[in-house]
Amino acid sequence: MGFFESDIVQQEAKSLFEDYQSLTQLGSEYGKFDREGKVIFIQKMEEMMDRYRVFMKRFELSDDFMAKMTVEQLKTQLGQFGMTPQQMFEQMNQTLERMKREVETDR
């Protein structure tokens, strides 16, 4: 069975995409959140990023040709911005850490 034919892979991809869209839409209102809302939003983003990291690691470890092509496409796309997948995750983590510090100082 191919990587993308797996029900588990398809379900997680769908779930990640839907969660990302929801959080992105919700994030447009981030400035209006109270402190507790900001903390919850940051936690949800961290959880989603952890799930995304695991999902991408599955691609990297797979022997499936299409999974390998997907990883290469991501590297190419990020490379156009002078970034690697690792740098993308690091930048996202830095952003979330900055958001946490800002919430802590708003007490």
pTM: 0.83
Query: Which pair of structure tokens corresponds to residue 32?
Result: 């209006």
Residues of the chain with pLDDT under 70: 1, 107
Residue 107: its pLDDT value, please?
A: 66
Residue 2: its pLDDT value, please?
A: 82
Q: How far is the C-alpha of 39 from the C-alpha of 34, rounded, in Å?
A: 9
Residue found by looking up tokens 């990587």 in the block: 3
Residue 1: its pLDDT value, please?
A: 67
Residues 6 or more apart in contact with residue 51 via CB below 8 angstroms? 12, 16, 19
